[in-house]
Homo-oligomer: A and B are copies of this chain.
Amino acid sequence: MKNIVLLGAGRSASALIQYLLKWASENDFFVRIGDKNLSVAEEKISNHPRGQAFAFDVQKYEDCQSAVQNAAVIVSLLPAHLHVPIAQACIEAGVSMLTASYISPAMQALHNEAESKNIMILNEIGLDPGIDHLSAMEVLDDLNEAGANITCFKSFCGGLVAPNSDTNLWGYKFSWNPRNVILAGQSTAKFMQNGQTKFVPYQRLFTYTEPIHFSQIGDFEGYPNRDSLSYLQAYRIQKVPTVIRGTIRKKGFSDAWNVFVQLGLTDDSYIYPNSAETTYRSFLNSYFQYDQHLSLEDKLKKMLHASMREDVFERINSTGILEDNIIGLDKATPAQILQQLLEEKWRLEPSDKDMVLMQHIFKYQLEGQNRCLRSSLVVIGQDNVQTAMAQTVGLPLGIATKLFLEKKIMLKGVLMPLVKELYRPILSELESCGIAFREHSTDISELELYN
């Protein structure tokens, strides 16, 4: 039997475990699942004959050593900063490893060692990073092979709520770590626009949106996310004049979120005094000047006056931040206070379904024509456990693990999934699991080529 050792049995592991157990018998897999919380791992195995749970603590050297013993491959779903000790144990034992996390500098530094030990450490093989790489590289390679002059590449992704479960004014519920949503965008966004490097700081990021449409799903918007420049070399698109990666939100989200940003409510750098006893209303009021003639509602409307957007006020109001409820959270930062409020209001209920959206936009010249190709992915969660997020993170990882054990992937070193050998078979099997991109291509004018 081939021992697959999966580390970390949290929320996003469900679809991966289901996939591996489904194929276990046919492929002679045995799936061992390690988690700090043994019962969580046991629950996920649910007495499957080809599964076994074990207690695992990445902080313990012996646990890392014994996890890799007799493993055919390691799959780590632990938080990104915990991968390195496992990777080191893998290198020592000569066992390959897969993760869905960004390659950290510490992980990248292990490349030569991994290569010389003849093992593969494949990272960024989840959703974003993951499916975005696979699907973008497939089209980019095709266009390059056809001789297209690519003028613009944009890639947007978002984890949202399914239309039928979309019951709040923001079109948003938390399907992953809420803290990351609250703090999103706090590093300056960097990208290419018409051959020029562009920078958008946090204080202007949420005014910098562009419309994104998904047929039958509706109107969304995208804002630039982090450092798109770091993808130029990896994607081999150094000569593409416009390159932007971004985040998808429901249309109107960013204008309202920007109010929180401008007020300073997403600040995570200081403790708000007496946060336990303060109400949300006085918390909000403390970010406005004193004015004996204006109510807090009036002050907020006055701030929004320039944009004349009643809908922005209604979105803010719907969070309950104007209400006199006690925060009750001790020694909290403004960002933690806002998070607590929104976790209550934007909770994905047991009956709710989440949704993952991705859209790549390619503009290019080919055979005298100016074209725009939109490649779109819509994944709706099955339920509260087999969420769209769990499927899109877990399935690429599961498929890559199976392909590796079938010896259909023969790569070595610390890698991202950017080559045909990986994206072809993985995208093809994802499609059979219902995770399929739809392409839509149109003629465009020359003026539209770069934006």
Q: Which residues of chain A have a CB within 8 Å of any CB of chain B?
A: 187-188, 190, 193-194, 196-204, 208, 229, 261-264, 267, 269-270, 273, 282, 285-290, 292, 306, 334, 450-451
Contact B286 A199 (CB under 8 A): yes
User: What are 23 A-B contacts with C-beta separation under 8 Å?
Assistant: A187-B269, A188-B264, A188-B267, A188-B270, A193-B290, A196-B282, A196-B285, A196-B286, A196-B290, A197-B273, A198-B289, A198-B290, A199-B287, A199-B334, A200-B264, A200-B287, A201-B262, A201-B263, A201-B264, A203-B203, A204-B263, A208-B289, A229-B273
- Set B202, B203, B289: member contacting A193, Cβ < 8 A: B289
A198: chain B residues within 8 A (beta carbon): 286-290
A194: chain B residues within 8 A (beta carbon): 290, 292
A261: chain B residues within 8 A (beta carbon): 203
What is the CB-to-nearest-CB distance from A447 to chain B, in angstroms, rounded to a whole number? 8
- Set B190, B199, B229, B264: member contacting A204, Cβ < 8 A: B264
* Other A-B pairs, 13, CB within 8 Å; known A196-B290, A198-B290: A187-B269, A188-B264, A188-B269, A188-B270, A193-B290, A194-B290, A194-B292, A197-B273, A198-B287, A199-B287, A199-B334, A202-B203, A229-B273
A267: chain B residues within 8 A (beta carbon): 188, 201
A198 CA to B190 CA, complexed, in Å: 33
A450 CA to B291 CA, complexed, in Å: 11
A202: chain B residues within 8 A (beta carbon): 203
A264: chain B residues within 8 A (beta carbon): 188, 199-201, 203-204
Contact A187 B286 (CB under 8 A): no
A285: chain B residues within 8 A (beta carbon): 196
A288 CA to B202 CA, complexed, in Å: 14
Q: Which of A198, A204, A286, A290 gathers the greatest number of chain B CB atoms within 10 Å?
A: A290
A270: chain B residues within 8 A (beta carbon): 187-188, 190
What is the CB-to-nearest-CB distance from A231 to chain B, in angstroms, rounded to a whole number? 14
A286 CA to B229 CA, complexed, in Å: 13
A200 CA to B286 CA, complexed, in Å: 9
- Please name the residue on chain B nearest to A292 by beta carbon: B194
A288: chain B residues within 8 A (beta carbon): 198
- Please name the residue on chain B nearest to A201 by beta carbon: B264
A173 CA to B269 CA, complexed, in Å: 31
A289: chain B residues within 8 A (beta carbon): 193, 198, 208
A193: chain B residues within 8 A (beta carbon): 289-290
A334 CA to B289 CA, complexed, in Å: 31
A286 CA to B194 CA, complexed, in Å: 11
A292: chain B residues within 8 A (beta carbon): 194
What is the CB-to-nearest-CB distance from A207 to chain B, in angstroms, rounded to a whole number? 11
A261 CA to B229 CA, complexed, in Å: 23
A243 CA to B233 CA, complexed, in Å: 53
